[in-house]
Structure 1
Amino acid sequence: MAKGGWRSLLLSARTVSMGSRRAFARLLFLLLSTSGFFQSYAVEVDVKDGANATCLYANWMMRFLITYETNSSDYRNTTLNLSSNVTHDGSVCGNDTQAALLAVQFGEGHSWSVNFTKTNETYQGDFITFTYNTNDTTVFPDAKRKGPVTIVVRDTMQPVQLNNVFVCHNADFLETESVTQIFWNVTVQAFVQNGTIGKKESRCRADTPTSAPTVPPTIANVTTASPTTASPAPTTAPKPVENPETGNYSLKSGNKTCLLANVGLQLNVSQDKPLLVNINPKTTSADGACGNTTAILKLNDRNSTLIGFTFVVKNVSTTAQKFYLKEVNVTLLNRLNGSVISNADNSNFSKWDAFLGTSYMCQKEQTLEISDSIQIHTFNLWIQPFLVEENKFSTAQECSLDDDDILIPIVVGAALAGLIAIIVLAYIIGRRKSYAGYQTL
């Protein structure tokens, strides 16, 4: 931007010690099958208006976890961090009729921006746009798709009073298909008045655990609730009357759907105390990878419950193949600091099998034993991890539990038929005996 313009931008980047967040980042990398740790930088942006007064200020840290396809049609996980060579072209102060825009560019063709809108009393983030460039071979080695890829997601920032500073030290996550955006140590104020950063802070929900929850409680916020703000939990938790809501999840390979799953999920955790929790599909995002012989479905419920299902293909004859569920892992995280509450894995399953090219269905409740302390209950299951055509399930192979529904009327009918036969036979025998009582004179 030319000097002497109606506004100028001042940006400085510095290395920030990761401290305890480094362990959290490493945990996330392990969950997404990545390895290694890369340095991340904090970015400070001070946008000035024509009078050289601050109109938009932000200081934050962020990291991106990305799944991409390689030339061998496999899927690989990578981590993209802010580098030291950050630029800031395109940031805009904003006014009553124009949105404010905070934009940064970094690395080999990567960029990130968020726009802010205002009312008479508040401002808030609107949309976040993230573009990563797979031509960056350092971050995306052997990428099949070359060039920039753009992800747009609605910001989850709540409305903030004008002249207040929005602050969020704890990690926040945004999930969109194959990209997870992670933010922490965030300080931002849009539409700064009179060039002076506000003195009053508006803290995010993660920084204020005493605020009322806006979603049904998860494992994390139930087990970590402050005793001063929540009633004591009972020693035993009864099973919810309602079954969990059925979620509809899918994965794509390019523009084609490669995995379909409809299922209601319920966690049964019995470490310190028994606890049953329904997974809310409205707050759960799906990620994973599709392959020719292996498919992985990862479900993330507000980044406090991570569930992974691994499906594989096996040969049952020289001409036929089946898929089945081989492995399930569950990780329970504390949303406030990212620490692990519990982690369990079972890689010895042989369930949900059906011929390749078909789907598997089981409407009845099933139980998956993950460990001694963690179980998963499934309801209304319909899964097809391979060979999905036209975004629709193929013919379903039903489980034996559902077959029982058909057997019951058959058994009842057979029993009634047998009872009728016995009555008829008894009647005939009775008639014969009555005739045998008369003698011919």
Structure 2
Amino acid sequence: MATRCTWTRPLSLTRCCLLLLVLGGPGFFQSHAVEVDVKDLSNTTCIYAKWMMSFLIKYETNSSEYKNATLVPSSNVTHDGSICGNKTHAPLLAIQFGAGHSWSINFTKTNETYQGNVISFTYNTNDTVFKDAKTKGLINIVVNDPMRPVQLNTVYKCRHLESIEVANVSQFFWDVTMQVFVQNGTVSKNDSICDADKSTVAPTIVPTVANLTTAPVTTASSPQPTTIPKPVEKPFIGNYSLKDGNKTCLLATMGLQLNVSQEKPVLININPNTTHVTGSCGNTSAILRLNDSNRRFIDFTFAVKSTSANTPRFYLKEVNITLIKLINGSEPLNAGNNNLSAWDTFLGSSYMCQKEQTLVVTEDLQVHTFDLRIQPFRVEDNKYSKAEDCSPDVDNFIVPIVVGAALGGLVALVLMAYFVGHKKHRNAGYEQF
């Protein structure tokens, strides 16, 4: 079971548990709601939770590359170890799923509120989803619940999707319903709604283009006008960087636009002003992860290759994208392409391309880049090295060639007119004699 929790919003750990319960299911985002009803020895309910959750885990392979694995609790979730708690033990909600994976959260209360305390997630890299994992066995991740307390004798509810990121693991939670310290074995009819749901206003006009602007909202009594989607503008250019200690190890400058084809084509501009940067640097591989405020995760994986001339080069090898929040109620999307060979240039240089480029991740998902400059290795003094530009557009040469040809033709005409005129002038003089 997965609880939906957010580091940025003060919600309770209870909410997190609920989210986890709903998220459990086969397939990364084709998840089933997980429902747990914890009872005491007298068969009286003390904890009730229902939620959905998924996990995105980045791991290192035996070839020192990094890959992503996704986990979702299936419908065959167990909840061994869940307890109501007593004077010496805190209430605990625990689930087990898949090939040795488990998730749990414990709770505390005051006279008026209850809240989560610690979330523990254990995943098993012996699972077949971790192909060629360098480290085999159980890996445990522990985080404190940053959410705010929930009023006693109320049910915490939150449909909003949120995430927790720690140690290369992203936990996603949504559609949470949960109550801890249930009184008299009866789940309360009083709700505690999360702030994210309170601030969410569902528009009556659904845009076909997702951009940085907000779609118009009409009231129920107002007639819905016919709207024509505005063309998506060029995305803002962002500057991104990673550090290894105090030294910058990766530099990236680009505008990013996603082209998603589900029920309808959707263009999404990534706003660099609300995008968080993480990743890792190495001698032969590097990862740049961008996480914008709308739960869109984009991973760029770079690698180094040798050539016959013994001049190492770097290139973009892999792109992985997780889109948790789309429009029109679309299902979240997870896609990747680990067979790329883009942005290729000499190691120690930077790659630059001012024209728009397209990276094909899948048939239904492409990434458009604008004004790109990238250097994932051998960054010196926090500055880009000399850039190798991508193949220039043929159109860039048309204007100077045409202008040069026109000027050359004009000069030739002037010279011809001069010589012809000069010759006639001399012949006229001879006739006068």
TM-score, normalised on structure 1?
Answer: 0.58
The CA deviation string for residues 350-369 of structure 1, in whole angstroms up to 9 with x for no partner, is: 32122111111222222223
Q: Per-residue deviation at 1:244?
A: 0.7
Residue 57 (structure 1) aligned to one of 104, 114, 117: 114
Look up the match of 2:96: none
The within-5 A match list for 1:25-424 is: 25=53, 28-29=56-57, 32-33=68-69, 38-47=101-110, 54-59=111-116, 62=119, 80-81=140-141, 112=144, 114=146, 167-168=157-158, 170-175=160-165, 180=170, 185=176, 201-206=192-197, 210=201, 237=229, 239-240=231-232, 242-302=233-293, 304-334=295-325, 340-401=331-392, 407=397, 410-411=400-401, 414-424=404-414
Cα distance between partner residues in 2 of 1:21 and 1:112: 21
Cα distance between partner residues in 2 of 1:263 and 1:274: 23
The CA deviation string for residues 363-412 of structure 1, in whole angstroms up to 9 with x for no partner, is: 2222223333332211121111111223332222222337975x466435
Tell whether the 8 Å contact from 1:237 to 1:275 is kept in structure 2 after alignment: no
Q: Per-residue deviation at 1:429?
A: 3.9
Q: Per-residue deviation at 1:434?
A: 2.1
Cα distance between partner residues in 2 of 1:169 and 1:437: 98
Cα distance between partner residues in 1 of 2:223 and 2:241: 38
Cα distance between partner residues in 1 of 2:223 and 2:345: 46
The CA deviation string for residues 289-323 of structure 1, in whole angstroms up to 9 with x for no partner, is: 32222222222334643322222212234442111
| Inter-CA distance 394–188: structure 2 relative to 1 (3 Å threshold) | farther
Cα distance between partner residues in 2 of 1:226 and 1:76: 51
Letter of the aligned partner of 1:43 in structure 2? Answer: N
Cα distance between partner residues in 1 of 2:367 and 2:417: 55
Residue 420 (structure 2) aligned to one of 411, 415, 430: 430
Letter of the aligned partner of 1:46 in structure 2? Answer: K
| Inter-CA distance 326–363: structure 2 relative to 1 (3 Å threshold) | same
Look up the match of 2:61: none
The CA deviation string for residues 109-128 of structure 1, in whole angstroms up to 9 with x for no partner, is: x562649xxxxxxxx79xxx
Tell whether the 8 Å contact from 1:352 to 1:360 is kept in structure 2 after alignment: yes
| Inter-CA distance 292–433: structure 2 relative to 1 (3 Å threshold) | same
Q: Per-residue deviation at 1:285?
A: 2.4
Q: Per-residue deviation at 1:281?
A: 1.9
Moved more, 308-317 or 408-417: 408-417
Look up the match of 2:44: none
Cα distance between partner residues in 1 of 2:135 and 2:226: 44
Partner secondary structure for residue 102 of structure 2: coil
* Structure 1 gaps, min length 5: 1-10, 48-53, 67-73, 82-109, 116-123, 126-159, 190-196
| Inter-CA distance 265–322: structure 2 relative to 1 (3 Å threshold) | same
Tell whether the 8 Å contact from 2:117 to 2:145 is kept in structure 1 after alignment: no
| Inter-CA distance 76–221: structure 2 relative to 1 (3 Å threshold) | farther
Partner secondary structure for residue 57 of structure 2: helix
Tell whether the 8 Å contact from 1:63 to 1:181 is kept in structure 2 after alignment: no
Tell whether the 8 Å contact from 1:246 to 1:281 is kept in structure 2 after alignment: yes
Q: Per-residue deviation at 1:427?
A: 1.3
Partner secondary structure for residue 379 of structure 2: coil
The CA deviation string for residues 8-62 of structure 1, in whole angstroms up to 9 with x for no partner, is: xxx99xx988454354555523773377552212322113xxxxxx154214884
Tell whether the 8 Å contact from 2:353 to 2:373 is kept in structure 1 after alignment: yes
| Inter-CA distance 166–344: structure 2 relative to 1 (3 Å threshold) | closer
| Inter-CA distance 231–266: structure 2 relative to 1 (3 Å threshold) | farther
Partner secondary structure for residue 32 of structure 1: strand
Over the matched positions of the two proteins, sequence identity in percent amounts to 39
Letter of the aligned partner of 1:239 in structure 2? Answer: P
Q: Per-residue deviation at 1:278?
A: 0.6
Cα distance between partner residues in 2 of 1:362 and 1:434: 56
| Inter-CA distance 29–326: structure 2 relative to 1 (3 Å threshold) | closer
| Inter-CA distance 231–18: structure 2 relative to 1 (3 Å threshold) | farther
Partner secondary structure for residue 364 of structure 1: coil
Letter of the aligned partner of 2:194 in structure 1? Answer: R
The CA deviation string for residues 236-256 of structure 1, in whole angstroms up to 9 with x for no partner, is: 85532x311122222333444
| Inter-CA distance 77–247: structure 2 relative to 1 (3 Å threshold) | farther
- RCO comparison, higher one (Cα < 8 Å, 6+): 2
C-alpha root-mean-square deviation of aligned residues, in Å?
5.1
Letter of the aligned partner of 2:56 in structure 1? Answer: L
| Inter-CA distance 276–181: structure 2 relative to 1 (3 Å threshold) | closer
Partner secondary structure for residue 414 of structure 1: helix
Look up the match of 2:82: none
TM-score, normalised on structure 2?
Answer: 0.59
Partner secondary structure for residue 28 of structure 1: strand
Cα distance between partner residues in 2 of 1:385 and 1:313: 10
Letter of the aligned partner of 1:417 in structure 2? Answer: L
Cα distance between partner residues in 1 of 2:314 and 2:144: 40
Tell whether the 8 Å contact from 1:257 to 1:388 is kept in structure 2 after alignment: yes
| Inter-CA distance 277–318: structure 2 relative to 1 (3 Å threshold) | same
Q: Per-residue deviation at 1:334?
A: 4.2
| Inter-CA distance 325–59: structure 2 relative to 1 (3 Å threshold) | closer
Partner secondary structure for residue 33 of structure 1: strand
